[in-house]
Structure 1
Amino acid sequence: MKYLRMSVIIQAPLKGAEIQFFEDALSHKTVYMNGAHPLTLKHGIVVPMDIVPDGNRIWTTSFIDPTALINGKIMLDGDFIYIAPFVELDSLFGGIRIGEGTNIQDGASLKGPAEIGCSVSIAHKASISNSSIGNFCFIGFGAEIKNSRIGAGAFISHGAKIESMNVQEGGYVPPGGSRCEGEISEALKDFKEEVLHVNSELVIGYIDLLYAFGERALLQIAPSPKTSWAKTYQFPEADSVRTLGPCRIIGGIFFAGEGEVGERTSIRGDEGYPIRFGKGVRIGQRSVFHSLKGAGIEVGKNASIGNDTVIHGPAKIGNNALVGNRCIILKSTIAEGEVVPDGSVIIERHEK
């Protein structure tokens, strides 16, 4: 009998006050790899129900963060799949299939039925329901796709809202847009390739990190993996931070003093870093901080970040700034004391 190569999901429960949360979150997951060998969770580790003849249970080539919430049955159809912190996959009303080389970023949500192709990037806080996404697509921060078909190679920009539409192959939807406006540029194609490359490295990096540090690698405050752009492990400096529920603070993160981080917020210094926070910073629930390679984020003292907001570097948030809920800030500067209204999308805005 021929046995198919299976991707692996490596997960481990947290220790301490949050362990019950993660045990509850992991308790109802069933994942299938390549259509064969259903996998179930045992003490937070995904293992196949059937063991192949040579005794190898799993191949370590895909990674799901332990904070991801999975309801129902999910098909991971290939290797090098990365599912980031606090992703929500809900297949209770229809199956979800995720293709090889796809990455689903922090706080994104998928509701079945959903078909996600190969080499797809679904960025932070994006949401997809009852839709199909073709191979090599990019879905931007906070984008919403409902009851739609997205053709292969399309680029759906940050904050876009697509409903009951067919987007052509190679189509381009601008930031905040609701329909296709031409074709994707060569520069955006190169950007998509770079995102895929980075996340394939992170898959292997997080697996290696787990072997190096054990469950410590999956705690709320944890190191980031070694990669081609980070030759050493990066460790957060966040001893003075008050966490208001389960969260993830990973890698090159530095808090200058006391601060607050809300429940299910993800701050990842595993690609771009450092990410620095001044004293007295307050961060709401379900928000995301992340940055591109070679760039960081600076958040000034006493700044306040709302719920469900994405701050993606390079970015600078000034002292005493107030960023509202459901905002997207990318490659931008927010001035000292500035108030950013709820729902704002700010891209490539800099100080004069």
Structure 2
Amino acid sequence: MKKPIIHESAFVSKNALIIGDVEIKANSSVWPFASIRGDTGKIRIGRYTNIQDNVSIHEKVSIGDFVSVGHNAVVHGCEIGNNVIIGIHATVMDNAKIGKNCIIGAKALITEGKEIPDNSLVLGVPGKIVKTLDEEWHKKIRENADIYYELSRKYIKGEYNESV
């Protein structure tokens, strides 16, 4: 089995699980109890992307740059573009494709094979596009990723210590 390749600038919680064919790019972060299992397919996580607490990622997955994957989300066998928020408890299923500058709302379900175009706000089960996001929203998505980047730097500098 391949071993993960994690950029030296990335922050990975000591309580996260990362196994197999996983690549994590520069300045990204993986938070406590996230599970990233590249045992059945390659997982690529882009730059400045945050994988929050208790997220599960499995199968072949590609996640772009400046993406926030919210607490308890499930990302399984899919593609996620740049500058996206996957909300708390959201699920993105096999062969789904999320375009750039999207927000997938909390608890939303993106069903197998669903394609979400760029600039979409998606809510509900199953997920439905409810709004087209403008430049102001794109900036808010990016700001969310920036907040997690700044927080990860504090952990790297030792300003916060993870308990055993």
Q: Given the two structures, how large is their TM-score scaled by the length of structure 1?
A: 0.43
CA contact (8 A) 1:62 1:204 kept: no
Matched, 1:123 2:70: yes
Matches within 5 A, 1:327-342: none
Aligned twin of 1:74: 22
* Unpaired segments ≥5 residues, structure 1: 1-27, 35-58, 221-352
1:150 is displaced (CA, Å) by 0.5
1:203 is displaced (CA, Å) by 1.8
C-alpha separation between the residues in 2 aligned to 1:187 and 1:126? 25
Matched, 1:172 2:121: yes
1:156 is displaced (CA, Å) by 0.5
**Which one has a bigger Cα radius of gyration?**
1
Aligned twin of 2:163: 219
Aligned twin of 1:154: 102
**Structure-2 change in CA distance of 1:64 and 1:30 (3 Å):** same
Q: Relative CO higher for 1 or 2, CA cutoff 8 Å, sep ≥ 6? A: 2
1:100 is displaced (CA, Å) by 0.4
C-alpha separation between the residues in 2 aligned to 1:31 and 1:90? 10
Matched, 1:102 2:75: no
Aligned twin of 2:90: 143
Matched, 1:189 2:138: yes
Matches within 5 A, 1:195-210: 195-209=144-158
Task: Supply the AA of the counterpart residue of 1:72.
Answer: G
C-alpha separation between the residues in 1 aligned to 2:130 and 2:122? 6
Residue among 62, 73, 78 paired with 2:10: 62
**Structure-2 change in CA distance of 1:65 and 1:29 (3 Å):** farther
1:177 is displaced (CA, Å) by 4.8
1:196 is displaced (CA, Å) by 1.3
1:185 is displaced (CA, Å) by 4.8
Alignment partner of 1:30: what SS?
A: coil
Task: Supply the AA of the counterpart residue of 1:98.
Answer: I
Task: Supply the AA of the counterpart residue of 2:5.
Answer: Y
* Unpaired segments ≥5 residues, structure 2: none
Q: Given the two structures, how large is their TM-score scaled by the length of structure 2?
A: 0.89
Task: Supply the AA of the counterpart residue of 2:127.
Answer: S
Task: Supply the AA of the counterpart residue of 2:17.
Answer: L
C-alpha separation between the residues in 2 aligned to 1:92 and 1:68? 15
C-alpha separation between the residues in 1 aligned to 2:99 and 2:142? 17
1:176 is displaced (CA, Å) by 4.6
Alignment partner of 1:72: what SS?
A: strand
1:192 is displaced (CA, Å) by 1.4
Matches within 5 A, 1:165-314: 165-185=114-134, 188-209=137-158, 217-220=161-164
Alignment partner of 1:94: what SS?
A: strand
Alignment partner of 1:195: what SS?
A: helix
CA contact (8 A) 2:48 2:146 kept: no
CA contact (8 A) 1:103 1:122 kept: yes
Q: Once structures 1 and 2 are overlaid, which stretch shifts more, 174-183 or 159-168?
A: 174-183
CA contact (8 A) 1:118 1:134 kept: yes
C-alpha separation between the residues in 1 aligned to 2:126 and 2:137? 16
CA-atom RMSD, angstroms? 2.1
Aligned twin of 1:258: none
CA contact (8 A) 1:137 1:154 kept: yes
Alignment partner of 2:157: what SS?
A: helix
Deviations 1:84-122 (A, max 9, x none): 100000111101000000001110110120001111110
**Structure-2 change in CA distance of 1:29 and 1:203 (3 Å):** farther
Alignment partner of 2:27: what SS?
A: coil
